Amino acid sequence: MATTLSNLRLVCGTTHHAMAATIAAVLSCEFTTAEVERFPDGELCPRVGNVRGDDVFVIAPTGSPASEHLVELLLLVDACGRGGAARITAVMPYFAYARQDRRTRSGEAVGARVVADALVAAGAQRVVVVDPHTTALEAMCGVPTEMITAVPVLARALRADLSADAVVVAPDLGAVKLARRYSTLLQRPLAIVSKTRVSAEQVTAEGLVGDVTDRTAVIVDDMISTGATIKAAARLVLDNGGRAGIIVAATHGLLVGPACQRLEAASNGIGSLLVTDSVPPVYRAGLYVEVHTISGLLADAIGRLHSDQDLDELLMQS
């Protein structure tokens, strides 16, 4: 029998007010926009108001600038704890630092673990995250971590007028599991690109397994940051005989630095780009980005967690 813990309250700061407001409207629950004061030296000081006894969900994607948004989230969580919230869930539609899930060179940190520890230290009793870069987050966080997926949302949009000969392309080995989910939902075959990262902004794509010749490629990834990965994969698809009019779908459209310029270049053969609103959408002249909302998905997850129901159908599959 489902139980209701206490008053459901959503709290947001400055990172994605539109999404938090939409979720609150769907759930018809209490909604607080924290005042976030910025001191002259750059420090943030949020005030959340009265949350005493509430089941609080702090909605805060940590998109660019990641570190600043992360500190805001940690302070919001701490403020809710000190204000007497009965339970605090950090809802991170995009979880920054997840790519730092291991050291690739000596002298590096494991950023994902540091963020996970900081969330728990601040007082988060549960974390909700959408299509994180690594599923290792669940093991890293010392509190229950629900990893839900936006793949069905984007797959539904892709299915609308997808050609029968389309092929789903994983732009690197790390994206294979995600691409397999798209391939299953879209009932299209899979191709895989072998990618090497040269630097934070440069990659090379050396080989492609699978048949893309005369087909429409649907390149899928968890995130687009600088656009290097997608650009290299699109180039390789074209070099292997793929059709122009490539479709790109990614949960997190960070689109930072040179991304928009890279992806709008006609030579890439990219015809459309679909992302979700896990971070506030970026609008740039010349680049058409189709944004699909995950507010409904998050509202569903929060409603279920509040009333102690399971999330099975919303979770990422292994």
For ligand R5P, the binding residue among 46, 63, 83, 227 (CB under 6 A) is 227
Annotate each residue in 118-147 with x if it binds ligand R5P (CB under 6 A) or - if it does not, as one string. ---------------x--------------
Three-state SS at 171: coil
Q: What is the phi/psi pair of residue 227, to 5°?
A: 85, 0
**Contact flag: residue 224 with ligand R5P (CB under 6 A):** yes
The answer to whether the CB of 175 falls within 8 A of the CB of 194 is no
Non-local CB neighbours of 92 within 8 Å, separated by 6+ positions:
60, 61, 62, 73, 127, 128, 129, 130
Closer by beta carbon to ligand R5P, 11 or else 175? 175
Q: Which of 99, 188, 195, 262 is catalytic?
A: 195
Residues 165 and 154: their CA atoms lie apart, in Å, by: 19
Q: What is the phi/psi pair of residue 151, to 5°?
A: -55, -45
For ligand R5P, the binding residue among 15, 62, 100, 225 (CB under 6 A) is 225
For ligand R5P, the binding residue among 80, 170, 208, 228 (CB under 6 A) is 228
Number of residues that bind ligand R5P (CB under 6 A): 16
For ligand R5P, the binding residue among 55, 146, 221, 300 (CB under 6 A) is 221
**Contact flag: residue 172 with ligand R5P (CB under 6 A):** yes
For ligand R5P, the binding residue among 22, 229, 268, 278 (CB under 6 A) is 229
3-state helix, strand, coil in the chain (%, to 5): 30, 25, 40
Closer by beta carbon to ligand R5P, 20 or else 224? 224
**Contact flag: residue 32 with ligand R5P (CB under 6 A):** no
**Contact flag: residue 174 with ligand R5P (CB under 6 A):** yes
Closer by beta carbon to ligand R5P, 55 or else 221? 221
195 flagged as catalytic: yes
Residues 208 and 67: their CA atoms lie apart, in Å, by: 35
The residue range among 30-38, 223-231, 266-274, 277-285 that interacts with ligand R5P, by the rule CB under 6 A, is 223-231
**Contact flag: residue 203 with ligand R5P (CB under 6 A):** yes
**Contact flag: residue 253 with ligand R5P (CB under 6 A):** no
Non-local CB neighbours of 80 within 8 Å, separated by 6+ positions:
11, 48, 51, 56, 58, 88, 123
Three-state SS at 218: strand
Torsion over CA: 112, 114, 115, 117 (sign): positive
Three-state SS at 103: coil
The residue range among 54-62, 221-229, 241-249, 280-288 that interacts with ligand R5P, by the rule CB under 6 A, is 221-229
**Contact flag: residue 226 with ligand R5P (CB under 6 A):** yes
The closest of 124, 182, 174 to 157, measured between CA atoms, is: 182
Q: Which parts of this chain interact with ligand R5P (CB under 6 A)? A: 99, 133, 171-172, 174-175, 203, 221-229
Q: Which residues are catalytic?
A: 195
